[in-house]
């Protein structure tokens, strides 16, 4: 009879609707984005040094073991990110902000006081 020798506890946790890795603030989204773009665990660790190689491998294993569910989660997160980006752009339009900054720089914005 085989027995489990050891595991990485809490490889992935769900916090406020976002999957995080171990006890860090690094989201699973971030790690999986890097992984799906060809980065290996060592490369990911260079970018996110708060993660151990064991945590990275465990999180990747969790993703692969639950791929269908995680892909749905990642798609939902993409929609949420797009919505937030649109809201920010609507409140702070890039073109208007650039025009305002140029007007201030050139001293032609009557509402700007140095």
What confidence tier does 2 reach under pLDDT thresholds 50, 70, 90? low
Which helix or strand (DSSP H or E) is residue 90 part of?
A: helix 67-91
Using CA atoms, how far apart are residues 36 and 40, in angstroms rounded to an integer? 9
Partner residues linked to 43 by β-bridges: none
How many Cβ atoms from other residues are within 10 Å of residue 27's Cβ?
Answer: 16
Check if the beta carbon of residue 55 is closer than 8 Å to that of residue 11.
yes
Domains in the chain (CATH in brackets) are 12-65 (1.10.10.10)
Q: pTM here?
A: 0.72
Please write the tens of the pLDDT for every residue from 65-74.
Answer: 999 999 999 9
- pLDDT, one tens digit per residue, over 46-97 is 999 999 999 999 999 999 999 999 999 999 999 999 999 999 988 887 777 7
Whether 5 shows a pLDDT value over 70: the answer reads: no
Q: Are 96 and 87 in contact (CB under 8 A)?
A: no
Reported as a single tens digit per residue, the pLDDT across 6-46 is 667 778 999 999 999 989 999 999 999 999 999 999 999 99
């Amino acid at each position: 009879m085989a027995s489990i020798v050891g595991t990485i506890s809490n490889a992935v946790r769900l916090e406020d609707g976002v999957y995080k890795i171990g006890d860090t603030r690094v989201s699973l989204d971030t790690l999986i984005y890097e992984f799906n773009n060809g980065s290996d665990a060592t490369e990911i660790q260079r970018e996110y040094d708060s993660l151990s190689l064991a945590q990275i491998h465990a999180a990747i294993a969790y993703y692969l073991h639950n791929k269908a569910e995680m892909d749905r989660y990642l798609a939902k997160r993409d929609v949420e990110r797009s919505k937030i980006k649109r809201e920010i752009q609507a409140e702070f339009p890039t073109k208007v902000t650039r025009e305002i900054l140029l007007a201030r720089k050139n001293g032609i914005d009557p509402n700007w006081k140095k």
